[in-house]
Structure formats: structure tokens, C-alpha cells
Amino acid sequence: MRIVFFGTSDFAVPGLVKLNKCHRIAAVVTKPDKPKGRHLLLRPSLIKLKAQELNIPLFFIEQDSHKHAIDELKRYDADLFVVIAYGGILPSDILSIPKFYSMGVHASLLPKYRGAAPINWAILNGNKTTGVTVFKLSEKMDTGDIILQRRVEILDSDDAGTLSLKLSEEGANLLLEAMELIEGRKEQFIKQREEDATYAPRLRKEDGAIDWTKDATYIHNQVRAMYMWPGASSNLSGRAIKIWRAFVAQPQVKGVYRPGEIIKAEQNGILVACGKGVLSVKVVQLAGGKQMSVSDFLQGHKISAGDFFL
């Protein structure tokens, strides 16, 4: 089948690679390069780099040039538009261009976690399973009819990065299964139940701020959920600090400690009292510094029992 592929984030790369092996990708539509890093240098997305590696033509839709984009997209004479982590809502006059329809891959079991950050919110909420959905796109975000779904387990060791990798691979595999159904015109559409819908809004920097009055399990999930961005953050000895790895050391606090109080600082972890339970902090990063293990951190910073994360 002849496809125009829309994608920007790393999550879309496996889908592009696997589709390209079995179908004709007429073009890849992605977002323009964005400034990244401390020096705000323009850097291309992995999708753009992968498309160039595969010799697939690239196309960018400027915000003020939808009419030009529609005319250009029609020239590709596509059977399907496939959209994975593109980073924007496409209007109906674009979604209706292909001969069949436009379809997407979403990193949740729709209608659960519609929105920009389904992986993060599934972890933050302590879910044990999530999944991927292949669905027909409509102009309203993540509301179209479902074609296929697959459930994926969330391990306690998973963070937003590892779970994203698993879901992107499963999503790419499920997409190929859906393509076989579509080629044989055997796909079936299941309407989403609006009463079951939940939402996963884009993360804000403040979502990473740790409230130590929460229980240790919640903070552990927060560290995992915020792993890629913005990071779970606190304050220690007057300095901003991010916590990148932690686990629940005790379900209950043994002794009288206030939330955020350091119970013990050892090479294998900093034990911190929470509203309920104890968190063992394993990997940290001071503002402007690099991620480091607690053992390395303690070699250069004096932390004692009775100090506080604020």
C-alpha cells in the first residue's frame, strides 16, 4: 500500500522502519528541527534522520500554509495516512485526503489516557498494565474507532523510557497486523465508550515536584513517570536536585520522622521518610551537573541523618 507517514518523536521510529519493509512510504511528514540542549542548537528528530537514512522524501507542514500542505499531500496519491506521535492534531481536510482513511497508533488502551502523555500518567497512577491501540483518526483527539488493541504489562522496574520502548515496538507490530486486515478489507471498527474515557495531558515542569507527604509508592511512581522529562525534583541543602532512580525500602516508617527527613545516608542509598513508608534514593543530579549514583554523590557532598529534602 502507498502510505504517507506522520511522526516526530522517537516513539514513531519502529513503526516507520517496519512499515517501510512491507509497504511504499511516499513521504514522511514531521516537525521542523527544534532548538535543544543548553546552547539551544537546532537538532533534527530521529524520525527525520531515519527517513533520510531510508531515502524517503520529507515534508513539513508550516502553521500558516495548510492550503499548500493539502495540495502537496494530495499529489502523493496515498492509500493511507499513518500517524504516530506526530505532535499535533491534523484537521479533517487533511485526514480525509487518502483513498481509505487516516489511522494512528496510540500508547494506551483507548479510550483510557487520551492525550499527549499516556505512558507517564499510566506509571504515575500506579497501573500494572497499559497497551497500544491502532485506530481510525478523527478530528477530535484520540476519539476514532478502534481497529486493534494489545495489552502490555508495566513492570515495577519500568520507567517512562523503558515502557516507551516496549510500547513503540508493540505498536509497530500491531500496525503491521492492522495493515494486513486493511489490505484484505477485513478490518472491523469498534466505537470508543465515551463513559470510559480518561485523559493524559502534556506534562508540566511542576508535575515533577516531589511532595514528601505523599506515600513512598506514589513518589516511586513519580520518579519513574518523570524519568525522561521533567525529572522528579526536590531541594537538598538549599540546592535543586533531581531524583532519577529510587525504590520503596519500607512500606511503613519505623520511628518518628517528618516527611522528607533523611533517616540514613549510605553508599547504597539515601533513606528518606515519606508521608507513608520510606524511599531509598539511588541516582541523583544536582542542577547543572550530571546524573550520578548516591555512592558517588556522597563522596563530594556531606549528607547526614536529620537533613531534609524539601
Q: What is the pLDDT of residues 7-59, one digit of tens each?
A: 999 999 999 999 999 999 999 999 987 776 665 677 888 999 999 999 999 99
Residues 154 and 11 in one domain: yes
DSSP state of 203: P
Look at the block and give the residue holding cell 481536510.
93
**Which cell numbers hold the place of 129?**
498494565
- What's the number of domains the chain is made of? 2
pLDDT in tens, 64-117: 667 788 999 999 999 999 999 998 889 999 999 999 999 999 999 999 999 999
Residues 215 and 178 in one domain: no
Q: Is the Cβ–Cβ distance between 179 and 19 less than 8 Å?
A: yes
Mean pLDDT, residues 132-156 taken together? 97
**Residues of the domain holding 257:** 205-300
In a domain, 305, yes or no: no
Mean pLDDT, residues 124-143 taken together? 97
In a domain, 309, yes or no: no
Our CA angle for 118, 123, 129, nearest 5°, is 85
Residues 53 and 72 in one domain: yes
In a domain, 273, yes or no: yes
Residues 96 and 218 in one domain: no
Domain ends where: 168, 196, 224? Answer: 196
Could you count the other beta carbons within 10 Å of the beta carbon of residue 249?
19
CATH for 224: 3.10.25.10
